[in-house]
Amino acid sequence: DKKDEARRQQEDLARQAAEEDAERQRAAAEEARLREEEHAAVRIQSAHRGGAARRSVKSKAEKKAEEDEEAARQAEAKKAEEEADARRAAEEEAARQAEAKKAEEEAVAAAKKKAEEEAAA
């Protein structure tokens, strides 16, 4: 009985530690995602803002150079958005994997506990 109780307490502690670890990982992933979204938004905003300020009478060469510059800015903004999306997807996948691992560990612990109880009975 004392051995069973000690084993149960150890399993509870292990399960609790796994839950806390998964929660910490989720919180860290969410924090990183929010930081990256903020950085991406700033990069996108500055890329969009840069083009509108300079519009006046200019030579064809200047206009062409500005169009190329604007295209490069828009490409950079699109790239930043895609990077943020990819990072977000990777973080969501990591969180899903952590959840799956936790569920698997709990299932293994439950099966082990059931087997030990059946062996004891």
DSSP the chain: -HHHHHHHHHHHHHHHHHHHHHHHHHHHHHHHHHHHHHHHHHHHHHHHHHHHT--SS--HHHHHHHHHHHHHHHHHHHHHHHHHHHHHHHHHHHHHHHHHHHHHHHHHHHHHHHHHHHHH-
Average pLDDT of the segment spanning 41-62: 68
- If you average pLDDT over residues 76-105, what whole number do you get? 90
Band (pLDDT 50/70/90 cuts) for residue 61 is confident
**pLDDT recorded at residue 117:** 87
Residues 3-7 have a mean pLDDT of 86
Selection from 40-54, 55-69, 107-121 with the highest mean pLDDT: 107-121
- Band the pLDDT of 68: cuts 50, 70, 90: very high
Q: What pLDDT, on the 0 to 100 scale, is given for residue 58?
A: 63
The proportion of the chain whose per-residue pLDDT surpasses 70, expressed as a percent, equals 90
pLDDT, mean of residues 69-95: 91
CB 95 within 8 A of CB 55: no
List the chain domain ranges: 2-120
- pLDDT value at residue 49: 64
pTM equals 0.41
